[in-house]
Amino acid sequence: MPGRTRANGEGSIFPYRNGYAAYVWVDKPDGKRDRKYVYGQTREIVHEKWLKLHHQAKAGPVATRVPTLARYLGYWLEEIVKPNLAPATYVSYEGFTRLYIVPGIGAKRLDRLQVKDVQTWINKVARTCQCCAQGKDAARPPAKRRCCALGSCCNAVPSDSAIKGLRATLRAALSQAVTEELVSKNVAALVKLRATRKRPGTAWDSDEARRFLEAARADNDPMYAAWVLLLVLGLRRGELLGLGWDDIDQATGELNVSWQLQRIGGQLVRRETKTAESDASMPLPDICRTALAIRRAEQVADRKAAGEVWQKSSLVFTTRFGTPIEPRNFNRAWEARIRRYGLREITPHGARRTCASILADLDVHPRVAMQILRHADFKVTMEIYTRVSSKQTREALKRLGDRMNGTESA
């Protein structure tokens, strides 16, 4: 055909604009046949791409049109993430996609996205005030505007954890694109982030934990049983708030952890725990059984006082009207009690760390602690939660000094 120059066996390679192009007939994912084109500046480049495309066509269906990143992310969220992953994961991925990825690099075609594109973009996000970029201050009523909309930048740059979450979202999406053979490699996995040191979470020692529980019991704190289960069993906040009376067997003295309560997409949702490792039947120490008996009596009294407005449910921890406890209100109640009792401030998750640290102080084997805390990874038990107390450190160094000094007692 005029205008085309082909070498032996090359097939449909032809001059195109300032270079060359070629095509191969392929079967598309929808079962139809169509041409798939490749382009390059030289015949050799196009020939190599053409041969590779031939191999792909023989191996299976080939997409003839590659979507933009924004379009693919929409499909990924609705067809991959939403039906198959936890609701909280979907909410997290959707937020990162809508607020950061699509506005930043969403217009890029999926197969043309390069490591440098993602690296440059994520570096820019890390140093950009998101109050300005997302118009947060401008969206407030005029009387409540306080920074960016008034020309005074608040420098609200994303946290290091937010940047990690952003990369993780894009990496997960591109991993699926690799699986679907839309791209050959996951460029987000090759992006570098600055190294950060994670601050260790604070926890109480056994004396502080005991003082807190004793004060709560003496004060007839309506959340006393919740505090006991946090500190003694190391339950997570969501597990505690999602706990039902049918999960507790008073006859055998066991508690089954299999549910959690979370606020997801503006709604309180009671759902199964995230992983199988989170589920467990745990024996109840006497302090827990006593606290739960007190809680049962309190709930009966609340139900009688509420009368017709009582909302029936199987939850152990409810408001005085029987409704689930809002997680943020739970945190507020925890913080208020700590201030009232004059103790060091820690978070509810710090109570879980307290449980792990006390187990370590009691010389409980780490594998046993791992089972009690229901960690999926042993490293989490050892590196994050279990902190050797300063008292143990002093005693150990004293023994070491005595040994080196030759004064160690027999």
Q: What is the pLDDT confidence band of residue 1, given thresholds at 50, 70 and 90?
A: very low
CATH of 69-190, one of 2.40.110.10, 3.20.20.80, 1.10.150.130, 1.10.3720.10: 1.10.150.130
The length of the chain, given as a count of residues: 410
pTM, two decimal places = 0.69
- pLDDT over 90 (residue 3): no
Q: What is the pLDDT of residue 57?
A: 85
Q: What is the pLDDT of residues 249-297, one digit of tens each?
A: 888 888 888 899 988 878 888 888 765 555 567 888 888 889 999 999 9
Q: What is the pLDDT of residue 122?
A: 96
Q: What is the pLDDT of residues 33-84, one digit of tens each?
A: 888 888 888 999 989 988 988 888 888 877 777 889 999 999 999 999 999 9
Q: Residue 356: what are its φ and ψ, rounded to 5°?
A: -65, -40
Q: Could you tell me whether strands 254-257 and 248-249 are parallel, antiparallel, or unpaired per DSSP bridges?
A: antiparallel
Q: Contact 265/98 with Cβ under 8 angstroms?
A: no
DSSP at 385? I
**Token pair listed for 402:** 């005595």
Which amino acid, residue 137?
D
Q: Contact 154/147 with Cβ under 8 angstroms?
A: yes
3-state secondary structure of 17: coil
CA distance 173 to 105: 14
Q: What is the pLDDT confidence band of residue 368, given thresholds at 50, 70 and 90?
A: low
* pLDDT, mean over the chain: 84
Q: What is the pLDDT of residues 11-34, one digit of tens each?
A: 578 998 888 999 888 887 777 888
Measured in whole angstroms, the distance separating CA 183 from the mean position of its chain's CA atoms is 26
Which amino acid, residue 49?
K
Q: What is the pLDDT of residues 144-198, one digit of tens each?
A: 898 988 888 999 999 999 999 999 999 999 999 988 878 878 999 999 998 877 7
Distances (CA, A) of 232 to 72, 119, 130, 199: 46, 45, 41, 24
Q: Contact 217/224 with Cβ under 8 angstroms?
A: yes
Distances (CA, A) of 163 to 52, 126, 181, 301, 374: 36, 7, 27, 48, 28
- Residue 170: name the closest of 79, 69, 75, 87 by CA: 69
Q: Contact 20/40 with Cβ under 8 angstroms?
A: yes
**∠ CA(29), CA(31), CA(36), 5° rounding?**
65
CA distance 396 to 117: 52
Fold designation for 207-392:
hpI Integrase; Chain A (1.10.443)
CA distance 19 to 370: 62
